[in-house]
Amino acid sequence: MTSPYRIAGADLAALLHAAQGTADCDLAARYAPVILFDSREPFLPLVAGFTIFRSDADSPSFRRRIALAPAGKPAAALAIEYAIWWDWDIGHLYELEHVWVYVDGAGQVVRVEASWHGELHDMADDAALALAGDHPTLFSEPGKHAFAPDPAWFCRRRSPSEALFQTTRWAGAGGVLVTSLFERELRPARTPFANTLVRSYLSQRAFEPAREFTQRVALTAEMLAPWPAVRGWIPERVTWWIEKLKAEIKPAEMRFLRIAHRGASAHAPDNTLAAFRKAAALGADMVELDVQVAADGAAVVIHDLVVDWPIGGRGAVSDLTAAELKAFTIKGRGGADDERIPTLDEAIECCTAEGLGMYIELKAAGAAPRVVAAVRRHDVCDWVIVGSFRPDWGAGVKLLDTRIATSVLFSAPNVDPVKLAQAVAADYVHPCWERLDPEPHKLLTVDWISRVRQAGLGIILWHEERLAEIAALRKLGVDGICSNAPELL
């Protein structure tokens, strides 16, 4: 029976069939690696695109140059590059990792290198390569698939808590992966809805690694294809998966972003580091935080335009320097330490350490360029959404960096969300209707949601603490819901 999701060019069997029996494929198969996976690993490789080098040249799929006889290393007559493809990494849709096998004139493997999250390293462990005949043996990082010569290598590069977060809490957090190799083809596919579908799929496959590498996958000739064929197949394969998820995942099954409004503001002073850390402890995916500009140009995290706190005094945020603002304190709750106004840099550092994304609301003119600069400085473009009730401020963010997702916030129910978002190239619409109706979810009609989705836009909803409303909102298939009490989500 023909698959209802079949898209021309996305068929794996057709891709592999064309390469079988060629001399280059046989050569690549002779030296193809054997990979050991965690016993609980849900995703195994499907195909490897190979490239054979008989002289020094740039890799077609990795940012590096292949050198057959570099100084201080055994010389090789040829090198074989294996660009190994998975449909899924536990964090995002698709994975591409690499292995390079160097062979001398006698046909012996003399060197092996492998990739580690965009970098590469030598696979010799204590100066000895692990080989099964002519096949290098490697270990794959649970869920993430980067390569190492032995399992202890993983522990030296990730803390136990970070490693566990990667396969559990952060499952699906990366959405549709877009790398420089596929920027042109896949950037349009990385829509808010596609990211939500990916998050929904992968959150159901989160796992705690056993750290027992008992799954063995040998890359055979039947799994190999020339890199140019794989390179052309990948964008269509990604599109195929997105269409498949659209057809299979129901709205009520979607894993929306749990956004802690001003942090876990029901439990700690809002917009403080304590509120952000509490949000992480309560299972939030992101924190919403407000950014203004102090008198000295520093980006600071505070909601109200005028500070009037119990300790420190009062004054307009724009008239006070960051140092003066930090002199203001507010009593912590439940005997907790007093809190201070954080800078945006401090907030980003805190959220990064806690594994939180950030939904940054612009509260003042001039905040946009400072937010963009901070997001770039901390390299968190893919973990941030920037929103505002001022659409022109969000447009300013897009003007500075198109990679940063933006949203438009609005209160009136008669606003055309699609036209508003399209006018400023926003990615999300964010109705703030919590006070408009006793049951505001009824304002989100099927037609309203359908029209927004057809425009390729995401939907983030107001902060909500009413259990009945949250239960109703969960069924709508939105991308994010805010709450002062993120545990309710």
For residue 285, give the nearest of 427, 481, 78, 116 by alpha carbon: 481
Q: Which residues are catalytic?
A: 261, 303
| Burial of 203 per CB tally in 10 Å (0-12, 13-18, 19+) | middle
**Torsion sign (Cα): 281, 283, 286, 290:** negative
Which residue type sits at 469?
Answer: E
3-state secondary structure of 223: helix
- Is the distance from CB of 28 to CB of 82 less than 8 angstroms? yes
CA 251, CA 275: separation in Å to the nearest integer?
Answer: 30
Tell me the β-bridge partners of 330.
339
Where do we find the tokens 């819901």? 481
**Torsion sign (Cα): 435, 436, 439, 442:** negative
β-bridge pairing 34-37 and 57-58: unpaired
* Structure tokens, 345: 């840099």
Which residue type sits at 402?
Answer: T
Which residue type sits at 372?
Answer: V
Give the ranges where 303-440 is alpha helix by DSSP (H): 322-326, 344-354, 367-377, 391-400, 417-423
* Structure tokens, 280: 């992480």
For residue 278, give the nearest of 327, 340, 333, 331 by alpha carbon: 333
CA 75, CA 58: separation in Å to the nearest integer?
Answer: 17
